[in-house]
Amino acid sequence: MKNIATSKQTAPKVGFVSLGCAKALVDSERILTQLRAEGYEFSGGYGEADVVVVNTCGFLDSAREESLSAIGEALSENGKVIVTGCMGATPELIRSKYPDVLAITGPQQYESVVNAVHKAIPPLHEPYIDLVPPQGVKLTPRHYAYLKISEGCNNRCSFCIIPKLRGDLVSRPAADVLGEAERLVASGVKELLVVSQDTSAYGIDVKYAASDWKGRQVRAKFYDLCEELGELGAWVRLHYVYPYPHVDEAVHLMAAGKILPYLDIPFQHASPNVLKNMRRPASSEKVLERIAKWREICPEITLRSTFIVGFPGETEEDFQFLLNWLKEAQLDRVGCFRYENVSDADSNALANHVPADIIEDRWNRFMQVQQEISAKRLKKKVGKTIPVLIDEVTPEGTRSSSEAVAHYKIIGRSSADAPDIDGVVHVTSKGRVLPGTIVNVKIEASDEYDLFGRVV
Ligand code: SF4
């Protein structure tokens, strides 16, 4: 994902390139909020900027390549470049390719990035604190926002270098998270997307310490936070949840309509051998039984997950196990990655790496199975009327020369669709609908990923 922030006003100008995941996007928003508070403005292009900040992603080698090329582009277009984010944890790699970057800071080092900007282009004498909206500067559309509840991770999955880059779990106090969520909702946000590396582990590091929220003590605990967020009047969507037993309690909140009936659980595999080699958290939980139980508690729950095929040591039997598991689990939304080595990941040293052509073949077989499941599950929604949050309304001219009525392409999402990673709902409407509103849509058709319907 690549976002370049823009602003119409004049002052010292910063160009900002934000790469990587939702968690990196939240980091970008914090840096931008701080800079905006100090009177900086944002430039939509490299040319007009006084300095460019590149927030990099280092999760996969392909993401590193993209980050390095973004740095190169910013250097050649502008010349004054500050690098931050996950790749900042390996400054020597960046320096060896681009010795001219002004400064390199690691993930979450907000102050260092801001200091580097001060050095490159000093702020105005009078900070324009009143120019910053209370909810901060957002890179997402106005009606949804990512809410980061913790940083880092206590797990040590063998294919992942996040703990090396971002350290162990550090949870934010519940009152801080709730304060931010409340400000976002007050500013017009309709959907809060809860993100972290391991959402269900929230608060373990601080022993669930309570903090004062509106005169009450709220614990930094997964369920307590979900319950409080559910009171704010916005959609609350949970990402990166592991199937620990206490997740069942949150499913009751979903059944009660307090938070969205949606769980994003990155299972990554199903075969016990592969899960063991992956060192996955909660892999010993009886997942199929848990899924059945969640559906019993909350029949309308949407389950999303990601998987990796071709992990070192994955045999044809392991892969078949995964396919059978997938058919039984009947997940609604699934992403699948082909295994690739990541520099510094422990899995690189595992035996029996799977050849690329077999990985490709397994990926295709996996996708075929899941597409059929997904299409079948979406078809069950045809005929139902469901709430849809409108994301985009784009004019598409008039329907015909005799009908001088503007035609709009309208895209929205239901409770089953997270932005960017899931499908969408294609909507038609006789009346006008606006982005950021929630409308009832009667579903008339479906395909492998999307739904189609009209506003009723
Ligand atoms: S849970 Fe595993 S994959 Fe996720 S951030 Fe932690 S170590 Fe990485």
pLDDT tens, position by position, for the chain (456 residues)? 444 444 444 688 999 998 888 778 888 888 888 888 777 888 888 888 999 999 988 777 888 888 899 999 999 999 999 999 888 888 888 888 999 999 888 776 777 788 888 888 887 654 344 455 566 666 767 789 999 999 899 999 999 988 888 889 999 999 999 999 999 999 889 999 999 999 999 999 999 999 999 999 999 999 999 999 999 999 999 999 998 888 999 999 999 999 999 999 999 999 999 999 999 876 666 899 999 999 999 999 999 999 999 999 999 999 999 999 999 999 999 999 999 998 889 999 999 999 999 999 999 999 999 999 999 999 999 999 999 999 998 877 655 444 445 578 899 999 999 998 999 999 999 888 989 999 999 999 999 899 999 999
User: What are the backbone angles phi and psi of residue 198, rounded to the nearest 5°?
Assistant: -150, 85
Is residue 155 within 6 Å of ligand 1 at its C-beta?
A: yes
Do the bridges between strand 13-18 and strand 3-4 make them parallel or antiparallel, or are there none, so unpaired? antiparallel
Is residue 153 within 6 Å of ligand 1 at its C-beta?
A: yes
pTM of the model: 0.76
The tokens describing 197, both together, are: 């590396």
Work out which ligand 1 atom sits closest to the CA atom of 198: 1
Distance between CA atoms of residues 230 and 192, nearest Å: 10
Task: Name the one residue in this structure whose structure tokens are 């913790």.
Answer: 150
Is residue 198 within 6 Å of ligand 1 at its C-beta?
A: yes
Mutational pocket test of ligand 1: of 198, 344, 347, the residue with most ligand atoms within 8 Å of the beta carbon: 198
| Inter-residue contact 152 to 197 (CB < 8 Å) | yes
Distance between CA atoms of residues 243 and 406, nearest Å: 47
Name the residue with the closest Cα to ligand 1, atom 2: 157
Ligand 1 centroid from CA 80, angstroms: 34
Ligand 1 centroid from CA 158, angstroms: 9
Ligand 1 centroid from CA 399, angstroms: 49
Do the bridges between strand 216-219 and strand 210-213 make them parallel or antiparallel, or are there none, so unpaired? antiparallel
Work out which ligand 1 atom sits closest to the CA atom of 242: 1
Work out which ligand 1 atom sits closest to the CA atom of 163: 7
Work out which ligand 1 atom sits closest to the CA atom of 160: 8
| Inter-residue contact 426 to 417 (CB < 8 Å) | no
pLDDT computed for residue 134 by the predictor: 61
| Local structure of residue 347 (DSSP, 8 states) | G
| Local structure of residue 268 (DSSP, 8 states) | B
Taking residue 366's Cβ as centre, other Cβ atoms within 10 Å add up to 20
Ligand 1 centroid from CA 376, angstroms: 31
pLDDT computed for residue 179 by the predictor: 93
pLDDT computed for residue 138 by the predictor: 64
pLDDT computed for residue 107 by the predictor: 76
pLDDT computed for residue 245 by the predictor: 86
Give the burial string for 334-350 (b: 16+ CB within 10 Å, else e).
bebbebbebeebbbeeb
Taking residue 203's Cβ as centre, other Cβ atoms within 10 Å add up to 24
Closest by CA to 59, choosing from 31, 21, 16, is 21
Is residue 277 within 6 Å of ligand 1 at its C-beta?
A: no
Give the burial string for 120-135 (b: 16+ CB within 10 Å, else e).
beebeeeebeebbeeb
Phi-psi region of 167 (alpha: psi -120 to 50; beta: other; left: phi over 0): left
Is residue 180 within 6 Å of ligand 1 at its C-beta?
A: no
Return the ∠ at Cα 285 (arms to 283 and 291), rounded to 5°. 110
What sections of 207-355 are H helices per DSSP? 222-229, 247-255, 272-278, 287-297, 316-329
pLDDT computed for residue 86 by the predictor: 86
Distance between CA atoms of residues 280 and 322, nearest Å: 15
